[in-house]
Amino acid sequence: MKDYKVLKNSYFDSVTLMSTSVSLKKELGFKDLVMLMGTDMNKEMIKSVGLYHIDIDSAEPNDLILAAEFDQEIKDWSNLVIERLSAKTKKSDEGTSVYRSIHQAFDAIAPNIAVISVPGIYAAHEAYKALEHGLHVMLFSDNVSVEDEIQLKKIAVEKDLLVMGPDCGTAIIGGIGLCFTNQVSRGSIGLVAASGTGLQEVTVIIDRFKGGITHAIGVGGRDLSEAVGGMMMLKGIDALDQDLDTKVIVLISKPPHPTVLEKIISRLKHITKPVVVCLLDSKHEVDIKNVHVVSNLTDAAIKALELTGLKTPDLTQIDDELLHVIQKEKALFKPTQSKIKGLFCGGTLTAEALSILRPHVKDLTSNVAKKEVEKMKNPLVSSGHNLVDLGDDIFTLGKPHPMIEPTIRLERILHEAKLPETAVLLLDFELGLGSHEDPIGVTLEALKEAQDIAKKEQRHLSIVAYVCGTDKDAQNLASSEERLKSLGILVAKTNAHAALIAAKLVEGVKS
């Protein structure tokens, strides 16, 4: 049974809708529930998941579409959904002032930054208005055209402002975390990154070893493309160079376009502060005295800490104690078991794991791979060594990102556990602002069931996990790790460490 409702002039932001849909679906017993604003793109999305009805065509972008499927009728289901949505919005707004436009907010509180999270077709317009008011912009929205991005960033450069994004999910400005961030200490290290989880990974490692952050500037994934030209990466470098509190600068990105890399190198020649450059999956060398090039996120954090006079242990070492545990686990594998199955919430963490595992594992594929030979033919189908970014659009169509709602990973965990070839499950968990309130808690039952599935078939399933977070995060790093360890899960020090543990587990195992 299916039913539909279009509520006129009922705007809710996408994060609220997506996070609430999952809990309501489970709580009220829906077979499926989609809650989206009435943009053309969202209407197409509803068609793709089989919940379309002709009445939906009348929806405008400011109208809320509810589409539901259930085995048994749920009386007044649409009213129940609206009550829960309204209650959640009211609770989040308690003690805060609500403004209906950038103009109102500017007149009332004189802000210096605007965080924009509206449908992509409106996002650029709101960003233009913010820049007109002299505000820095964090553009969380995606589906903003490249042409708009270029124009917005040109205006920002002219006005000496930042445009972080579009599709920018992480930033820390003056100690204040925006969107998806971890609670980290203030300090002397500043970062500019075209990566959300990459930025989070480096900042939490820095925090763990008594370092601190001045600013962490996200620039959006397209900033280092040839078309955009790295405008905000360059602007961010200049901003941190001029910031008196920033003593060390860290740059994080997947390999930029060669023309953009040339611009960055040229700019770094004029920076006197120490700079750490982390270009994931790149072996490019920079011959500048104060510039230090590393190839993974762990090494970026270690080098930044070292440059501020702080030391760390070897964060990727597999010591004798851990090696002994690994050997015991390997001895329990059946002859059929030889494959690593990586199920990631963080896209950059997936890419880093791919880079690290490549020298150790043959025929490795991923949906984040750039090399044609490494691309998964179908991310929905598991075969061989796979590293899957579950934040890919193919998994999040009409659903929340797995960092917001990690339960979308549970079914895939159980599927991989049933495959006779699976030896290792490789997982990441992100704590902090914006992430699920307890990503470990909602996953533990599935992990235990996955272990039981293998055990019933007289197989042993090794699970390797990394938790990206700090003890200052509401979800708490130490307790999160301990709950994983209670199931016999191997908990890594960093994402890179987790990948190396996984590699060691299948080393010498015949495929």
| Strands 2-7 and 64-69, sheet pairing | antiparallel
Provide the pLDDT for residue 96: 64
Phi-psi bin for 506: left (phi > 0), alpha (psi -120 to 50), beta? Answer: alpha
Mean pLDDT of 415-436: 96
pLDDT tens digit sequence for 255-304 = 899 999 999 999 999 999 999 999 988 777 788 999 999 999 999 999 99
Rg of the chain, C-alpha, whole Å: 23
Whether the predicted pLDDT of 511 surpasses 80:
no
Q: Are 196 and 170 in contact (CB under 8 A)?
A: yes
Whether the predicted pLDDT of 231 surpasses 60:
yes
Give me the architecture of the 2-93 domain, per CATH: 2-Layer Sandwich (3.30)
Whether the predicted pLDDT of 387 surpasses 60:
yes
Q: pTM of the full predicted structure?
A: 0.88
- Mean of the per-residue pLDDT values for the chain? 91
In the block, residue with structure tokens 């691309």: 375
Q: Are 385 and 468 in contact (CB under 8 A)?
A: no
pLDDT tens digit sequence for 150-181 = 999 999 999 999 999 998 999 999 999 999 99
Mean pLDDT of 423-449: 96
Question: Which of the four CATH numbers 3.40.50.720, 3.30.930.10, 3.40.50.261, 3.20.20.210 does domain 102-307 have?
Answer: 3.40.50.261
Of 102 and 190, the one with more pLDDT: 190
Q: Please, which pLDDT band fits residue 38 given cuts at 50, 70 and 90?
A: confident
Q: With pLDDT > 90 as the criterion, what percentage of the chain qualifies?
A: 70
Q: Which two tokens stand for residue 14?
A: 């996408």
Whether the predicted pLDDT of 103 surpasses 80:
no
User: Domain 320-506, CATH 3.30.70.1340 — does that match?
Assistant: no
Report how far residue 492's alpha carbon sits from residue 499's, in angstroms, rounded to the nearest whole number: 9
Mean pLDDT of 409-434: 96
| Strands 275-279 and 248-253, sheet pairing | parallel
Whether the predicted pLDDT of 93 surpasses 90:
no
Domain 102-307 identical in fold to domain 320-506: yes
Mean pLDDT of 462-472: 98
Provide the pLDDT for residue 357: 97
Helix-strand-coil percent breakdown of the chain, rounded to 5? 40, 20, 40
Report how far residue 215's alpha carbon sits from residue 245's, in angstroms, rounded to the nearest whole number: 10
Provide the pLDDT for residue 145: 93
| Per-domain residue ranges of the chain | 2-93, 102-307, 320-506
Provide the pLDDT for residue 107: 77
